[in-house]
Structure formats: structure tokens, C-alpha cells
Structure 1
Amino acid sequence: MERRAVALGGFGGFNLHGAGVLTALGRLDVMPDLFTVTSGQIVVLASWLRGEDVRSLLLNHKGASGGLLQAWRTAMFGHSGVFRPTIQEHARRWLDVPLSPDAMLERLMPARQYAPVRDPDTVAEVARTLNEAEVGVVFNTYDFRAGEGILHGNPAAKRLMAGEVGLEDITAEAVESALWLYLYGFEEAPGGLIDGAYHRSVILAELHGFDEVTVAAPFPVSWLGPVPRNQLEVENWKIRQWFANSYKAEVARLRRVIELMERGTLNDPAYRIRSLTELPLRRHYGYFDYFTEKEEVFDDALLQALDRFGEPARLCVGAE
């Protein structure tokens, strides 16, 4: 019996990319055996598994505006329901004495810029939804001190990957860690773990035991826009390289496995993968586009996924 896996990556304001893929699966009544998810896609997948409209959820939650104005609003006021600026905490720290040179630097340029404000019950519900799912679910956290990633899986994932991959339990604290941005600070990170996407933007390498793997990369796999000409464009390039490079390494590993299997060089029954299909972001976006979700991202991912899983593209846009 064939086994299929779908890998979804979370990345800034592009969670609608994975939401488009999930919506396509729902329309086609196709359920893979396993999902791997990183960062914000953890919340998106949990919502989808509960039967929620993830497109509307993200668009209503993030708002329709974008660009520089939205970036300024987010920087000043935070992201409703997700994080807030730590202005009060910074003000209180100036009352601490003595003020050493290091302490002064921490006050002038603190590592913690924002604090998460997700309700603990919401985080616990995400963990409960994933653990109760019949489909396998795997996500990652990152031990930044050790430089090591940790994979967390639900009971279904542990059955599918038994003996192949060591999976820690999915707990509310693990979900909180997997959503912990570096801007939230490192000393405060739950269990000393942060968002696993900083280590591996998409979880692919362990999926060699599935016959068909589909991966939705929420960034272009090549640089689509003009070459960077200012510092913000350079920063945009740096961020995309950071996430895309780890992704490309995992894609290369699985494609090498497929090649060796086709040659007959690799005959281990634990290696079953025959195809790897990429569904990347296909449009260039600038630095300020990290702060808002965009409907066209959803539409394009939906079109790609419907085509990938066999539905005519005519059912894509506007069929909500």
C-alpha cells in the first residue's frame, strides 16, 4: 500500500501558501498519511484538522493591508493575538542597577523585542488536536545552545515512523516552543527551545519511507526579483537564503535517494520514496511583505495543489 506525505513550511507572512495546499486536499477529499509542519503551519494545520476555513482565518486575523504601513503598525503595536511589543519590560529594566557596559547594551538594544500573547488554552488545544488526529503529524523545535533540532510527533506519526525516526511527544510546551520567534528573547524560551524553522525550514529528510512526497515551500526556490539595490533588499535576500538553503539541502538528499533507488544501488526496504513534488512560492515579494498574509499566495498554492493532486485548475480561484 502506497504511503504519501505532505511537508508544509511556515515563513513570515506566507502561511496562506500552506493553507492553499490544505484547502486543495480538503476539496479533493485527499488525506495523506503524514504531515510535517514548521512554525506557523502548526497552527494552520490544527485549524484545518478541526474543519475550519484556514483561508478566512488567516486573512481575517492578519488584515488586508500591507507594505510599509502594515510593517510600521506591526513594529509599533505588535500582532493582535500573537505578540506585543515589550515596551513596559524595557522601561522597568532601566531601574536595575548597577549598569555595566553589557547591561547598558542590553537596555539600549535588548534581544527581546516582543512577547507572545497566545492564550495558553489555545496552545493546549493545538497540541490536543494534533495528538488526536488520525493522520501523522510531525513538527520541529530547535535547541539553539546545542545547535540541534528536535522532532515532535503524534501517536499516528510514531506508528508510521517506528524504528526510523526518534520523535518526542507533542505537548503544549512543545507547541509554544515551536512558535517561539527569536524576537521573543532567548532566556525566556520555554524549555530552552525555539522555533524549529530557524534550523530546518521544512522537514523533508526523514520522509524517505513514503512513496510520494509533496512539499510546499513558502518561498521561491530561486531569486525571482531584481538584484538587491538597497539594505532592505539585501536583508530580504539574507532572510530568504537562510530559509531556502536548509530546504534545498533536504530536497537534494531525497532526490539523491530516489536516484540511487532507480539505479538499483539502494535496496533497503526502509527507503520507498519514488517521487518528490515541489510546490514553491512563485512570485517575488519584498521585505515588508513578511508582515501580512496575501490572498494571491493562497490562490496560487491552491492552483498548484489542485493540479498536483489531480483536480482541474478551473476549480481554483473564486470557488470559495
Structure 2
Amino acid sequence: MRKQAVALGGFGGFNLHGAGVLTALDRLERMPDLFTVTSGQIVVLAAWLRGEDVRRLLLEHRGASGGLLQAWQTALFGHKGVFRPVLGENARRWLDVPLSPSAVLERLMPARQYAPVRDRDTVAEIARTLNEAEVGVVFNTYDFRSGNGLLHGNAAARRLMAGEVGLEDITADAVESALWLYLYGFEEAPGGLIDGAYHRSIILSELHGFDEVTVAAPFPVSWIGPVPRNQLEVENWKIRQWFANSYKAEVARLRRVIELMERGTLNDPAYRIRSLTELPLRRHYGYFDYFTEKAEVFDDALAQALDHFGSGPAHKQAHTQRRAG
């Protein structure tokens, strides 16, 4: 029996990319054996597993304006349901004495700009949904002090990977860490762990034991659009390079494995991968587009995924098999 895996990455205001892929799987009644997810895709996958309309979920709280105005609104008021600014808390820190030079700098330019607003029950429900899913689920967290990443998986993922990959438990604390942005502050990071996407934007390297791997990268795999001509465009380039470079390294590793298997050089039965298909973001967006989900991102990912999964070998399973037990 062929094993299939789908890797989804979370990236700013582009979670609708993964949502489009999940919706395509729904429409085609196809279910992979395992999902790997990072950052915001953890929330999207959990909602999808519960049978929610993930397109509507992501679009209902988006700003109406988009662009620069939306960026300023997000900076001042936060992102509804996700994070809020901590201006008041940072202002009160000026009351602490004595003030050393480093303390003044911390107050003038604090590391913590926002605080997450998802309550504990919501985070616990995400963990419960992922643990009870019959499909395998793996996500990552990042120990920024040691520079090491951690993978967390449910029971189905443990069975599929059969000891090949060390997986930590999926807990509410792990979910909270996996959604912890660096703007939330480092001292406050739960267990000293933050969003694993800062370490690995998409989890691919461990998927050599699956025959078919599909990866949805929520960013272009090459630079699309004009070269950067101002500092905001340079910043946009830096952010995309940050996430794309770790992704490209993992893609290169799996493609090398496929090449060695085709040559007959690699015969270890633990290595089964025969195909790796990329479904990247195919449009250029600017710096201020990180703050608003865009319907066209969903539409393009949906079209790509329908074309890819719809043309492959039959692999249908009833919808009830994916839902939480």
C-alpha cells in the first residue's frame, strides 16, 4: 500500500494557501496518511479535521482595507482572535527602578510587542483534535536557546513512522509554543519554546518513508516581481529568504534521496519516497501583505491541488475517517 504525506506551512497572512489544499482534498474525497504542519497551519488543520469551513474561518476576521492601512491597524490594535498589543504593559515598566542603560533600552525598544489572546480552552481543544485524529499529524516547536527543533506527533504519526523519527507528545503547552511568535517575547515563551517555523518553515526531511509527498509552500520558491528598490522591499526579501531557504534545503534532501533510489544506490527499505510535488504560492506580494488573508491565495492553491490530486491514482477514503474519533 502506497503511503502519502502532505506538508503544509504557515506564513503570515498566507494561511489560506494551506486551506486551499485541504479544501481540494475534501472535494476529491482524498485523505493522505499524514500531515506535517507548521505555525498557523496547526490551527487551520485542527479546524478542518473538525469539519469547519477553513476558508470562511480565515476570511471572517481579515481587515477590509488590506495593504498599508491594514498594517497600521494591526500594529495599533493587534489581530482579532490571535494577538493584542502590549503598549500598556510596556508603558508601566517605566515605573520599575532603578533604570540601568540596558533597562532603558528594553523599555524604549521592548522585545515583547504583542501577547497571544487564544484562551487555554481553545489551545487544549486544538491539541485534543490533533491527538484524536486518525490521520497522522506532526508539527514543530523551536528551542531558540539551544538552536534545536522538536517534533510533536499524534498516535497515528507514531505508528506510521515506526520509530524512524523521535516525536514528542502533542499537548496544549506544545500547541501554545508552536504558535508563539517572536513578537510575543522570549522570556515569556512557554517552556522556552517558540514557533517551529522560525527553525524549519515546512517539515519535509522526515518524510522519506512515504511513497508520495506533496508540499504546499505559502511563499514563491523563486523571487517573483521587481527587484527590491527600497528598505521595505528589502525587508520583504529578507523575510521570504528566511523561510524559503530552510524549505529549499529540505526539498533538496528529499530530491537527493529520490535520485539515489532511482540509481539503485540507496536500497534501505525505510526509504520509500518516489515523488515530491511542490504547490507553491505563485504570485508576488509586498511587505504589507503579511497582515491580511487574501481570497486569491486560497483560489490559486485550490486550483493547483485539484489539478495535482485529481490526476493522481485513486486514493479515496470516507470523510468520517479523517474526523476526530
The TM-score bracket by the shorter chain reads over 0.9
Moved more, 57-66 or 100-109: 57-66
Partner of 1:148: 148
Moved more, 244-253 or 117-126: 117-126
Q: Which runs of 5+ in 1 are unaligned?
A: 313-320
CA distance in structure 1 between the partners assigned to 2:208 and 2:258 by the alignment = 9
Q: Deviations over 1:68-124 (max 9, x none)?
A: 000000000001111010011111100000000000000000000000011111110
Letter in 1 for 2:163: G
Partner of 2:110: 110
Letter in 2 for 1:59: L
CA distance in structure 2 between the partners assigned to 1:48 and 1:123 by the alignment = 15
RMSD of aligned residue pairs (Cα, Å): 0.9
CA distance in structure 2 between the partners assigned to 1:69 and 1:75 by the alignment = 10
Q: Deviations over 1:157-180 (max 9, x none)?
A: 011112200000000000000000
Partner of 2:77: 77
Letter in 1 for 2:294: K
Q: Which runs of 5+ in 2 are unaligned?
A: 313-325
Partner of 1:300: 300
Partner of 1:43: 43
1:130 matched to 2:130? The reply is yes
After superposing on structure 2, the runs of 4+ consecutive aligned residues of structure 1 that deviate more than 6 Å are: none
Letter in 2 for 1:308: H
Written as runs of structure 1 = structure 2, the 5 A alignment for 1:230-241 is 230-241=230-241
Partner of 1:92: 92
Written as runs of structure 1 = structure 2, the 5 A alignment for 1:50-69 is 50-69=50-69
Query: What SS class does the counterpart of residue 146 from structure 2 fall into?
Result: coil
Letter in 1 for 2:82: V
CA distance in structure 1 between the partners assigned to 2:242 and 2:192 by the alignment = 22
- TM, length-normalised to structure 1: 0.97
Moved more, 294-303 or 61-70: 61-70
Written as runs of structure 1 = structure 2, the 5 A alignment for 1:239-318 is 239-310=239-310
Query: What SS class does the counterpart of residue 39 from structure 1 fall into?
Result: coil
Letter in 2 for 1:167: L
CA distance in structure 2 between the partners assigned to 1:164 and 1:155 by the alignment = 14
Q: Deviations over 1:273-302 (max 9, x none)?
A: 000000000000000000000000000000
Letter in 1 for 2:285: Y
CA distance in structure 2 between the partners assigned to 1:274 and 1:64 by the alignment = 44
Partner of 1:193: 193
CA distance in structure 1 between the partners assigned to 2:231 and 2:129 by the alignment = 42
Partner of 2:209: 209
Moved more, 3-12 or 84-93: 84-93
Written as runs of structure 1 = structure 2, the 5 A alignment for 1:163-174 is 163-174=163-174
Query: What SS class does the counterpart of residue 282 from structure 2 fall into?
Result: coil
Change (3 A) 1:64 1:27: farther
Query: What SS class does the counterpart of residue 31 from structure 1 fall into?
Result: coil
CA distance in structure 1 between the partners assigned to 2:123 and 2:135 by the alignment = 19
Query: What SS class does the counterpart of residue 94 from structure 1 fall into?
Result: helix
Partner of 1:181: 181
Partner of 2:31: 31
Taking only the aligned residue pairs, the percentage that are identical comes to 89
CA distance in structure 2 between the partners assigned to 1:287 and 1:24 by the alignment = 28
- TM, length-normalised to structure 2: 0.95
CA distance in structure 1 between the partners assigned to 2:34 and 2:85 by the alignment = 36
Letter in 2 for 1:92: R
Given that residues 3 and 210 in structure 1 are in contact (C-alpha distance below 8 angstroms), is that contact kept between their aligned partners in structure 2? yes
Letter in 1 for 2:189: A
Given that residues 201 and 244 in structure 1 are in contact (C-alpha distance below 8 angstroms), is that contact kept between their aligned partners in structure 2? yes
Partner of 1:315: none
Given that residues 78 and 84 in structure 1 are in contact (C-alpha distance below 8 angstroms), is that contact kept between their aligned partners in structure 2? yes
Partner of 1:218: 218
CA distance in structure 2 between the partners assigned to 1:116 and 1:65 by the alignment = 23
CA distance in structure 1 between the partners assigned to 2:14 and 2:65 by the alignment = 14
Aligned-residue offset at 1:310:
1.3
Q: Deviations over 1:199-229 (max 9, x none)?
A: 0000000000000000000000000010000
Letter in 1 for 2:171: T
Given that residues 28 and 311 in structure 1 are in contact (C-alpha distance below 8 angstroms), is that contact kept between their aligned partners in structure 2? no
CA distance in structure 2 between the partners assigned to 1:259 and 1:149 by the alignment = 27
CA distance in structure 1 between the partners assigned to 2:310 and 2:118 by the alignment = 37
Aligned-residue offset at 1:311:
5.9
Letter in 2 for 1:12: G
